[in-house]
């Protein structure tokens, strides 16, 4: 299958059949996804923080690491910074200092938050010019919201969104653009279409729906993707949500109901790198830690894949070191495990070390690649 495909021993060129493919000299990361902390004030029922082996849930990025990242980003022309990850960025003790600094340097800045501090931070976001805010909201019933996003308060988040909407009118600005992420499971699938009405009333411009990614040790019973009945309900709910688009003006981004060969890696397509709170760099959030997923009943061992250390390596060197993976993702030179008829018996799909084409790491069973889940980038 791969007799005509082999990798050259020098960087950053590839020999591909009759072709020599080289990374352009000007190639660089366009976005950095920065994890300020792994700590969180919520314990959401679907969060894969709880799946990570030997996980440090109290890592806070130091000022030295942060400054090194920003200096490097500025030097190579990175244009966008997204603050998200395995924790809640707004609870970092230096959060306000950090975001003020990057905005003063002109970076397009995105905050992904659970919304717990939104009421407190709304006017500050406007004053310093934050460009986008993603708020995770998975239910519009107060009790169900608290059951999923424990011990969160939908009332508090709603107050924060109202304050942000009013402050934007007060200051005459459209920024920050507000979007929401809805993680679909069996508990909240009947809430899906309500998201558009809520978004219209609260000044949210887009709702992104993602499947819950089940994991070993988690609440696998709430997994919607593995249930035909739940997927049917999701299809109906999404149809109802999309029917409200013209009236509401809210954009809807929906997942593939089932996997197919229609794939796109959000990190590769946006030229993004993921930087952990300890300064280590991964090609994406999904491979930034070691954990075990259970997708459609198949258990997979996801092993962390680290491509560099910001305190030792230059970002441009890390980017270029990653060229084989970028090539495979850009040109879809990877198999499609989630819809392969051999997926339940093929040993290649049991972890992310190799795929059946010899690529390492394997991205072939990633739910983000298969557009089952979405990243706020």
User: Where residue 14 falls among pLDDT bands split at 50, 70, 90?
Assistant: low
pLDDT tens digits, one per residue of 74-94: 999 999 999 999 999 999 999
**In whole angstroms, what is the distance from residue 321 CA to residue 319 CA?**
5
This prediction's pTM: 0.92
Say whether pLDDT at 156 is over 90.
yes
In sequence order, which residues have a C-beta less than 8 Å from that of residue 327 and are 6 or more positions away? 14, 21, 23, 333
Which residue in this structure is represented by tokens 């992104």?
Answer: 208
Pairing of strands 251-253, 206-211: parallel
| Cβ atoms 90, 135 nearer than 8 A | no
In sequence order, which residues have a C-beta less than 8 Å from that of residue 198 and are 6 or more positions away? 137, 140, 204
- Mean per-residue pLDDT for 18-43? 88
User: Where residue 2 falls among pLDDT bands split at 50, 70, 90?
Assistant: very low
- Mean per-residue pLDDT for 152-158? 97
* β-pair partners for 207: 180, 252
Say which residue, 19 or 100, is predicted with more confidence: 100
Query: Which two three-digit tokens encode residue 74?
Result: 């500025």
Pairing of strands 177-184, 132-136: parallel
Instruction: Return the exposure string of 309-333: e unless at least 16 CB atoms fall within 10 Å of the residue's CB, then b.
Output: ebeebebbebbbebbbbbbbbeeeb
DSSP label at 222? G
**In whole angstroms, what is the distance from residue 199 CA to residue 180 CA?**
8
| Cβ atoms 251, 257 nearer than 8 A | no
Q: Which of 67-71, 74-78, 191-195, 337-341 has the lowest mean pLDDT?
A: 337-341
- The count of C-alpha atoms lying within 13 angstroms of the C-alpha of 274, restricted to the half-sphere facing its C-beta, is 23
Which residue in this structure is represented by tokens 């149809």?
Answer: 239
- The count of C-alpha atoms lying within 13 angstroms of the C-alpha of 188, restricted to the half-sphere facing its C-beta, is 27
Alpha carbon separation from 28 to 78, 139, 271, 314, 336 (Å, rounded): 8, 39, 7, 12, 27
**In whole angstroms, what is the distance from residue 209 CA to residue 240 CA?**
14
Say whether pLDDT at 60 is over 80.
yes
DSSP 173-202: ---SEEEEEEEE-TTTGGGTTHHHHHHHHH
How much is the mean pLDDT over the chain?
A: 92
Say whether pLDDT at 325 is over 90.
no
Residue 59: what pLDDT? 98
Q: Is the peptide bond before 12 cis (omega within 30 degrees of 0)?
A: yes
Say whether pLDDT at 1 is over 50.
no
Say whether pLDDT at 324 is over 90.
no
**In whole angstroms, what is the distance from residue 335 CA to residue 63 CA?**
41
Say whether pLDDT at 11 is over 60.
no
What's the per-residue H, E or C state across 47-78?
CHHHHCCCCCCCCECCHHHHHHHHHHHHHHCC
Helix (H, G, I), strand (E, B) or coil at 122: helix
pLDDT tens digits, one per residue of 200-236: 999 999 999 999 999 998 889 999 999 999 999 999 9
Residue 329: what pLDDT? 81
Helix (H, G, I), strand (E, B) or coil at 320: helix
> Domains (ranges, CATH) in the chain?
29-350 (3.20.20.70)
**In whole angstroms, what is the distance from residue 48 CA to residue 294 CA?**
12
Say which residue, 263 or 10, is predicted with more confidence: 263
User: Where residue 374 falls among pLDDT bands split at 50, 70, 90?
Assistant: very high
User: Where residue 286 falls among pLDDT bands split at 50, 70, 90?
Assistant: very high
Residue 4: what pLDDT? 37
**In whole angstroms, what is the distance from residue 215 CA to residue 288 CA?**
15
Number of Cβ atoms within 10 Å of the Cβ of 19: 7
| Cβ atoms 346, 337 nearer than 8 A | yes
- Mean per-residue pLDDT for 303-313? 96
């Amino acid at each position: 299958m791969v007799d005509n495909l082999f990798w050259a021993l020098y960087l950053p060129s590839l020999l591909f059949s009759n072709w020599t493919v080289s990374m352009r000299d000007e190639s660089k990361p366009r976005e950095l996804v920065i994890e300020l902390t792994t700590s969180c004030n919520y314990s959401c029922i679907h969060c894969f923080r709880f799946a990570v082996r030997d996980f440090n849930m109290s890592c806070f990025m130091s000022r030295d690491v942060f400054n090194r990242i920003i200096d490097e980003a500025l030097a190579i022309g990175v244009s966008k910074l997204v603050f998200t990850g395995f924790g809640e960025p707004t609870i970092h003790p230096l959060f306000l200092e950090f975001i003020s600094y990057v905005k003063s340097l002109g970076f397009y800045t995105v905050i992904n938050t659970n919304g717990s501090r939104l009421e407190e931070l709304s006017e500050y976001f406007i004053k310093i010019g934050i460009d986008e805010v993603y708020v995770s909201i998975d239910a519009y019933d107060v009790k169900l919201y608290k059951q999923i996003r424990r011990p969160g308060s939908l009332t508090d988040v709603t107050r924060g969104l109202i304050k942000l909407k009013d402050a934007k009118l007060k200051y005459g600005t459209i920024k920050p653009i507000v979007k929401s992420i809805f993680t679909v499971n069996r508990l909240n699938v009947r809430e899906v279409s309500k998201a558009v009405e809520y978004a219209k009333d609260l000044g949210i411009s887009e709702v992104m729906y993602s499947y819950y990614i089940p994991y070993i040790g988690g609440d696998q019973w709430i997994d919607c993707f593995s249930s035909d009945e739940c997927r049917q309900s999701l299809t109906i709910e999404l149809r109802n949500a999309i029917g409200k688009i013209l009236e509401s003006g809210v954009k809807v981004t929906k997942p593939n109901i089932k996997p197919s060969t229609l794939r796109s890696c959000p990190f590769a397509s946006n030229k993004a790198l993921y930087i952990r709170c300890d300064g280590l760099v991964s090609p994406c959030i999904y491979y930034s830690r070691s954990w075990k997923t259970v997708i459609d009943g198949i258990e997979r061992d996801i092993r962390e894949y680290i491509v560099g250390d910001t305190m030792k390596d230059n970002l441009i060197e890390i980017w270029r070191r990653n060229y084989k993976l970028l090539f495979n993702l850009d040109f879809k030179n990877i198999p499609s495990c989630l819809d392969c008829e051999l997926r339940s018996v093929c040993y290649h799909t049991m972890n992310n070390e190799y795929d059946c084409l010899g690529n390492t790491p394997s991205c072939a069973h990633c739910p983000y690649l298969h557009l089952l889940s979405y990243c706020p980038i």
